[in-house]
Homo-oligomer: A and B are copies of this chain.
Amino acid sequence: MLDAADALAAFRDRFVFDDGDRIYVDGNSLGRLPGDTPARLAARVDEWGARLVTAWPDWIDLPIEVGDALAPLVGAGPGEVLVADSTTVNLYKLVHAALDVRAGAIVARADDFPTDRYVLQGIAAARGRELRLVGDVTAALEPPVALVCLSHVDYRTGRLEDLPAMTAAAHAAGALALWDLSHSAGTVPVELDAADADLAVGCTYKYLNAGPGAPAFLYVAAQLHARLRSPIWGWFGQRDQFAMERPYEPVDGVGRFLAGTPPVLDLAAVEEGVRLTAEAGVDRLRAKSVALCDLIVAAHDAWLAPLGFELGSPRDGERRGSHVSIRHPDAWPICRALIERAAVIPDFRAPDSIRLGVAPLYTSFSDVWRALDRLRRLVEAGEHRLVDAATARVT
């Protein structure tokens, strides 16, 4: 039994399973609630109640402190990561900062995650830069290129980008490399410093299990701190913040990318999610994630392909993140039926993909096996033809 041999099996007990018979294979969208998070959040709330502003000396460095805790998970050093704002806002800050110091176009994938494309489109329009949204990034690096912006793991297919190689290709074209780690942080080893990456952002509510809308992280390589600045000049990035008379002069270090008052309560949940991930270790998480996804691929081949499914993800685990997409012309009603009639929670990505995400901290081999078995039975019985496909979408 694969679960019996799973060195990470005990971590499942560190999460809340209040959802009965449901099988959750959507940790790639929103991670589960860690068991210790409610108490940590409650303690932070109590601290607000009891200490009020006198607690600010303990809170004010939290974005950097939590960033330092997160940094080893993405191959960054101390003082290179901070946690605040959303992934979208952080991406916005770093793209502008990059364009300040590099002339030329922005290169990104035409099928990248929407908010990444939107941010790039908006900034390209505002700054009069060419935006090359392409299928083949390597072929689109004709200089001058200012910035190459890529997702480490593709949100739809799970395809894992070669971060060191693409970073080197960006540099060879004279560009900075900016990575969106939303779908890799916490399940795929990321070596930002070792790959000489310049910039990165990522969310904490997927595999880092920090809760819906939890603050995101950003990374700026140490050697770039002095040259880059945020387009959003805010008081939390200001040198000697409480000497309020002065003109804006950003602090040294990654803290210059802070803007407004950081979300103190939420940072407690990020701390707990990061702590659990670090305790398990990204290498062990990666090994289990690949094995879980391999099981999905095997089940697809044996059970689903005969039912009209196609694999929408790389077959090779080395080239895949922590979810597997399976494609079917009836993906949308199948997805609804899985949720409503089979108590399996995946997610749907238009036009025809069902994403099955595995979160190696808490997804078991039995979860995967049972989810795929329910899926097979459901489609064999034609139950997806019984749901109202017009019902609201799961996000």
Contacts and interface: CB of A to CB of B under 8 A. Distances in A.
A248 B154 CA distance: 19
Interface string A335-351: 00001000001010111
Taking the full assembly, how many copies of this chain does it contain? 2
A208 to B, nearest CB: 13
B51 A259 contact: no
Contacts of A232: 88-89, 92, 119, 122
Contacts of A16: 49-50
A62 B256 CA distance: 30
A88 B235 contact: yes
Interface in A78-101: 85-89, 92
B248 A52 contact: no
A248 B121 contact: yes
Interface residues of A, number: 84
Contacts of A54: 339, 345, 394
A60 to B, nearest CB: 7
A259 B86 contact: yes
Interface string A195-224: 000000001010000011111100000000
A265 interface: yes
A146 to B, nearest CB: 16
Contacts of A114: 235, 238, 241, 244
B37 A45 contact: yes
A212 B49 CA distance: 10
Interface string A245-285: 10110000000000111111111010000000000000000
Contacts of A121: 233, 247-248
Contacts of A205: 261
A216 B260 contact: yes
Interface in A93-119: 113-115, 117-119
A49 B51 CA distance: 28
A135 interface: no
A19 interface: yes
Contacts of A59: 212-213
Given A42-B42, A48-B211, A339-B54, A395 B60 contact: yes
Given A30-B53, A41-B41, A114-B235, 10 more contacts: A18-B50, A53-B347, A87-B261, A118-B248, A121-B233, A121-B247, A213-B262, A213-B264, A213-B267, A215-B263
